[in-house]
Amino acid sequence: MNGKTEGDIQSGAVPDHVPPHLVKHFDFRTGLADRPQEIIARLHEGPPIFYSPVRHTMGSGAGMWVITRASDIRAVMSAPEVFSSSIQGEFLAAIGETIRLTPLDADPPLHGRFRALLNPLFTPKRMVELETLIRARCAALINRFEHRRSCEFIAEFATQFPTGVFIDLMGLPGERLDLFVGWAREFIHGETAERRIAAVRQIVDYFRALYLMRDGYGDDSILAYLLGRSEGVSLTEDEFCSLAFLLFSAGLDTVVSSLGFIFRFLAENEHPQSRLRADRKHIPRHVEEMMRLFAPVTPQRIATRDTVLSGVAIRKGDCLALSLAAASRDPAEFPDAGSFHAERNPNPHFAFGYGPHRCIGAQLARRNIAIAVEEWLTRLPPFRLAPDQQIVATGGSVLSLDGLSLVWG
């Protein structure tokens, strides 16, 4: 099992403490076809915890325990003293960077300090205040292609809409949007380690320059806030770059991925579209269920001590991949888990994670997606997939679609 697999994914020998019957070769980056969440959901047909000799992220070592069951993932995400988040940013140290993915890779009490710093930026009140900005950007993008009766949804809308909103919030120059999108996509989905590393360096260098110049961003922006222009914030260069890097990469990828899967679903299913066109009040519930079906992220943890998880012996230093896509389709918690049920209630899906590290931008993501769905249904007639297109999905830490052609009229 030594060597490398497609996409520069590391593969290595299975540790001696892993029972042979729990070894299963599974790669979250390749071989997921065009419906990756459906492929991942099939993992429920096997052991709920297994060891894969390949890993889907940059970093030292090889092999990870794959956790698929919702109850186990909740247990792991609720116990940072046993399952540390520090592995989330290990690739930065591996390439010689001194920043971290704070607070994503931080455990209590450090995590709480930085989470408290960011919380005021993403309050429900703040999200309501942003609605006019979000809706205006969405409408402006639709204006560009509605007369054509077709568009390449990922390139012309999904990458432009939430990314543009977040660039505005960060206070970064809008005319450099395409450059920022390219950096973020290479960092998350670059085909080789070299390309991903190069993108990381470009992003970090950009934020280091902003820190030193104290210029290049809006006065009423996230970056201005982090640099201490409000709330008495005082961050070191590395702390500022860590927070900016994390917000930048998260804000420019995960919602883009979710939009691709959600609009593909709507294009393929006439009934949900018709129902939402008839009554917009159903949009929030529909969005929650679509986010459950298409949870895109696979975070990691590392064991800080020898422990046992649902009868499986985990050794100190073992890495874990938490499949939020599998957890959100766990038949033990979601009846008829592979099907869409808009009235599902409660709907405790894992699209935003769980526990202390639950996504801080969840309310912004929900608002972006709901507004996008509403504006499309208001501005455009029923849309569907363009005929004969070959849809390709990419994997890794974040699942996404490479392209999606839609037509209407």
DSSP-assigned states of every residue in 216-251: SS-SSSHHHIIIIISTT----HHHHHHHHHHHHHHH
d(CA 343, CA 282): 9
Given a cut of 50, whether residue 230 has pLDDT beyond it is: no
Around Cβ 330, how many Cβ atoms within 10 Å? Answer: 21
Can you tell me the mean pLDDT for 157-173? 91
Q: Are 54 and 10 in contact (CB under 8 A)?
A: yes
Closest among 79, 299, 55 to 193, alpha carbons compared = 55
Helix (H, G, I), strand (E, B) or coil at 79: coil
Closest among 382, 294, 379 to 338, alpha carbons compared = 294
Model pLDDT, residue 11: 52
The answer to whether the predicted template modeling score (pTM) of the entire model surpasses 0.95 is no
Given a cut of 60, whether residue 8 has pLDDT beyond it is: no
Given a cut of 80, whether residue 170 has pLDDT beyond it is: yes
Q: Which pair of tokens denotes residue 58?
A: 């940059």
Q: In whole numbers, what is the pLDDT of the chain averaged over residues? A: 90
In order, the DSSP letters of 313-381 are EE-TT-EEEE-HHHHTT-TTTSTTTTS--TT-SS----TT--GGGS-TTHHHHHHHHHHHHHHHHHHS-
Per-residue pLDDT band for 232 (boundaries 50, 70, 90) equals low
The values of phi and psi at residue 109, to 5°, are -90, -10
Task: Identify any residues that bridge with 308 across adjacent strands, giving them in sequence order.
Answer: 313
Closest among 58, 73, 332 to 199, alpha carbons compared = 58
Q: Mind listing the pLDDT tens digit for each residue in 18-67?
A: 999 999 999 898 889 999 999 999 999 999 999 999 887 765 567 999 99
CATH class of 3-408: mainly alpha
- DSSP at 14: P
Model pLDDT, residue 1: 30
d(CA 162, CA 372): 9
End-to-end CA separation in angstroms for the chain = 52
Percent of the chain's residues with pLDDT above 70: 95
Residue found by looking up tokens 């975070």 in the block = 299
Given a cut of 70, whether residue 96 has pLDDT beyond it is: yes
Model pLDDT, residue 91: 77
Can you tell me the mean pLDDT for 323-340? 98
Can you tell me the mean pLDDT for 330-358? 96
> CA-CA-CA-CA torsion for 111, 116, 122, 125, nearest 10 degrees?
150
Torsion 281-287-292-297 (CA) sign: negative
Percent of the chain's residues with pLDDT above 90: 67
Per-residue pLDDT band for 3 (boundaries 50, 70, 90) equals very low
